[in-house]
Amino acid sequence: MLANESGVPLDDLQALQEGLRLDQADRMIENVAGVHALPLGIGLNFVVNGKDVLVPMVVEEPSVVAGASFMAKLAREGGGFRTQAPDPVMIGQMQVLDLSDLHNARDIILANSEDLLAEAGKIDPVLSSLGGGPRGLEVRIIEESPIGGFLVLHLLYDVRDAMGANAVNTACERLAPEVEQLTGGRVHLRILSNLADRRIARAACTIPLRVLAFEEFSAEEVRDGVIEAWAFAAADPYRAATHNKGIMNGVDAVVIATGNDWRAVEAGAHAYAARSGRYTSLSNWGKDSDGNLVGELEMPMAVGIVGGATKVHPTAKASLKLMGVGTAGELAEVILAVGLAQNLAALRALATEGIQRGHMGLHARQVATAAGAMGDEVEHLAAELVKQRAVRIDRAEEILKEWRKNG
Ligand code: MEV
């Protein structure tokens, strides 16, 4: 079905089911003793910038894939997700120590920034030929630290379709001797920053008021309940941590499916959420002038479609093919859409029936569908299963059989 829907040849999708072989794993890390598998589900109904996308999601938690898929269906009614990703510029940091005059050293670096950038431009000719490479230098003075003051040099580096860690780290290591020569200082650490705040991706969606009502909850109740739930996270770090965890349920699932570094994305997300000095929500929810629910998510998204596990792990390769993303930016955009959908799934459930019933409800719909329910039967059967506290396929099949026998 996925091959038919996506137009991707079936052979290219086999790896979704076959996974990573032991000999492949053995070439990825050290001391390999086995392969650890997780379920890969498909996030459905996603429309991202007007394009349908099937989204592979790797996650161990039930209801995550169903929640995202259901919210994507509601968002589809409002035109889907509108997303953006900027040029993939990463920050490489150099810590310059042993300087007697920090301000003077900063001035020297800034005065020589053109030469330094030209030098940095020679480091990776392949990246340069693809339109990537150095984009700028920034100098920051850290006045106070446990070892006293020092200078931090930021190399802004466009990494194109890579996550960028290797490219940035190499560039910093290669540029360091030049910086030492100019400043007379000692370049200590040379490493990328995971607070990739030059690589902020965005997603927004409008959920038409009319599609928000369900069961005994009016559309206005659901909309206002979501906004109230968001306000809790906006104001309180204890809640914001859980709220953002819900966003990361979706984000990480796609980051992992595509072979990307989820610790880097997690680190960037939480550092960005705390950028004002107080940890807060990564998303915003409100209403537009027509009373529709509108959501936005913005966060750093350092992911790639070349290099690392994205090209070595067969399931990651198949996942990227299935999504049909052509650039790292497009992948970042889909990930943001999934994060926003996941956030809405959690807030909608929490603001109405509570998360436990929501989990059961979502699960029950899947069970009802799996039992062969069609059209309106799905909702009715799911509700009946929840009522009977028997969300099981055998019971679903029995009820369906009875209904159909009795017309
Ligand atoms: C559970 O994995 C995620 C939630 O806790 C997120 C939230 O509370 O917003 C439901």
pTM, to two decimals: 0.89
What number does the ligand 1 atom closest to the CA of 239 have? Answer: 8
| CB 281 near ligand 1, within 6 Å | no
**What's the confidence (pLDDT) of residue 358?**
62
Question: Could you give the 3-state DSSP secondary structure of residue 157?
Answer: strand
Here the tokens at position 35 are 């392969």
Whether the predicted pLDDT of 203 surpasses 90: yes
Question: Do 89-192 and 357-405 fold alike per CATH?
Answer: no
18 flagged as catalytic: no
CATH class of the domain comprising 357-405 = mainly alpha
* CATH 1.10.10.10 correct for 2-86+200-353: no
Residue-range domain boundaries for the chain? 2-86+200-353, 89-192, 357-405
**What's the confidence (pLDDT) of residue 311?**
79
pLDDT (average), residues 328-343: 98
Active-site residue, selected from the candidate residues 161, 317, 359, 384: 359
- Residues 352-369 pLDDT 10s: 988 776 677 778 888 999
- Residues 248-271 pLDDT 10s: 999 999 999 999 999 999 999 999
Contact 341, 41 (CB under 8 A): no
**What's the confidence (pLDDT) of residue 15?**
95
Residue minimizing CA distance to atom 4 of ligand 1: 246
Q: Please say whether the dihedral angle defined by the alpha carbons of residues 159, 163, 300 and 322, taken in this order, is positive or negative.
A: positive
How far away, in angstroms, is 241 Cα from ligand 1 center?
9
| CB 249 near ligand 1, within 6 Å | yes
**What's the confidence (pLDDT) of residue 287?**
98
User: Mean pLDDT, the chain, as a whole number?
Assistant: 95
Pocket test residue of 59, 60, 63, 242 for ligand 1, highest count of atoms within 8 A of CB: 242
Whether the predicted pLDDT of 407 surpasses 90: no
CATH second-level architecture of 89-192? 2-Layer Sandwich (3.30)
- Residues 115-155 pLDDT 10s: 999 999 999 999 999 999 999 999 999 999 999 999 999 99
pLDDT (average), residues 173-179: 96
CA dihedral angle for residue 207, residue 280, residue 163, residue 12, rounded to 10 degrees: -40
51 flagged as catalytic: no
Q: Apex CA 167: angle with CA 163 and CA 171, to 5°?
A: 145
73 flagged as catalytic: no
Here the tokens at position 82 are 């509108």
Residue minimizing CA distance to atom 9 of ligand 1: 243
Strand order in the sheet with 133-142: 133-142, 150-158, 89-97, 186-192
How far away, in angstroms, is 355 Cα from ligand 1 center?
8
Q: For 268, list phi and psi in degrees, rounded to 5.
A: -65, -40
